[in-house]
């Protein structure tokens, strides 16, 4: 993916380009020029060309590895499997880091959909096998990925044009907190280092269907609240919330329980939730 390199060059008054190889004028095919020379004022020959991979993420073969202790894995697997049911054939979808990245593993084998990433990727596949990882092929979460037939790479600005133009059908994100009216907080915990807010704010305001996956509580603290206490990613943006206890929708901005997990009662969910919620008259079992 090309990230924001070309865009930064266009915006700069003085742009320095570090190149692994410097060739004579005319040696590059014109169709392979990503950034025309008019945007470059200084050219530097690179000496250290080692490309480091921040998060080497490898395929585990047929085994799907869900992180966490056994009791945590069971909760997360229930959430992930339920989120997989939100995907429809032919969709373009964007997946956040964490549990959402595992969702495609639980879709029907014959279902076709296309993954999109904010860092300039459309149509990518599973994690690479050991030894085949490429530092130039990573997703927005810095994980190594592979390309598939039909994949394309482009600047990050093109990714955001797809998102802001409502061309992405579904986004599945993790959450730190969700409010009773569908506000989402998921990009920062004050005081903790974060590299940036990523694309979540654009994704939740794009008009795409927004599904949030998260554990219902954190160390006994409520994560579903009357109002978010953490910085908000977007207001009134959550279409569906999936936890290990149930599934919530937000008709007219009001949190409503529409599915309940096996061996869980409505009273159990009330005790674990920091706000009142309605219960659908057609409450279904979460599967």
Which residues belong to the active site? 118
- Of the candidates 153, 135, 123, the one whose C-alpha atom is nearest the C-alpha of residue 50 is 135
d(CA 68, CA 75): 10
Query: Scanning the structure block, which residue is given the tokens 């279904």?
Result: 284
Give residue 182's Cα distance to chain centre: 18
177, 223 contact by CB (below 8 A): yes
Give residue 284's Cα distance to chain centre: 28
Tokens describing residue 111: 């279902």
- The pair phi, psi for residue 270, each rounded to 5°, is -60, -40
d(CA 59, CA 65): 9
d(CA 97, CA 141): 6
Residues 6+ apart with CB under 8 A from 168: 92, 93, 94, 116, 162, 203, 206, 208
Q: In 21-145, which residue ranges form alpha helices assigned H by DSSP?
A: 70-84
d(CA 67, CA 57): 13
Give residue 14's Cα distance to chain centre: 34
Tokens describing residue 204: 């939740």
180, 170 contact by CB (below 8 A): no
């Amino acid at each position: 993916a090309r990230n924001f390199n070309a865009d930064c060059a266009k915006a700069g008054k003085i742009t320095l380009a570090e190149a692994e190889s410097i060739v004579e004028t005319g040696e590059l095919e014109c169709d392979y020029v990503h950034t025309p020379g008019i945007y470059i004022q200084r050219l530097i020959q690179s000496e250290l060309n080692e490309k480091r991979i921040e998060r080497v993420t490898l395929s585990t073969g047929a085994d799907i590895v869900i992180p966490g202790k056994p009791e945590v894995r069971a909760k997360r697997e229930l959430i992930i499997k339920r989120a997989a049911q939100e995907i429809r054939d032919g969709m373009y979808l964007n997946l956040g880091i964490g549990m959402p990245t595992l969702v495609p593993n639980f879709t029907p084998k014959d279902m076709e959909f296309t993954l999109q990433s904010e860092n300039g990727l459309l149509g990518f596949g599973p994690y690479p096998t050991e030894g085949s990882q490429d530092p130039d092929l990573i997703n927005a979460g810095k994980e190594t990925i592979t390309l598939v037939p039909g994949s394309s790479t482009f600047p990050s600005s093109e990714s955001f044009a797809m998102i802001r133009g409502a061309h992405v059908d579904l986004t599945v994100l993790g959450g730190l907190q969700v409010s009773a009216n569908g506000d989402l907080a998921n990009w920062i915990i004050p005081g903790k280092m974060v590299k940036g807010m990523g694309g979540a704010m654009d994704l939740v305001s794009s008009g795409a269907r927004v599904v949030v996956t998260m554990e219902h509580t954190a160390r006994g603290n409520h994560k579903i609240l009357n109002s978010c206490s953490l910085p908000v990613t977007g207001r009134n943006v959550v279409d569906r919330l999936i936890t290990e206890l149930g599934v919530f929708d937000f008709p007219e901005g009001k949190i409503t329980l529409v599915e309940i997990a096996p061996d869980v009662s409505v009273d159990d969910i009330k005790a674990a939730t920091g706000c009142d919620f309605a219960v659908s008259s057609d409450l279904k079992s979460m599967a």
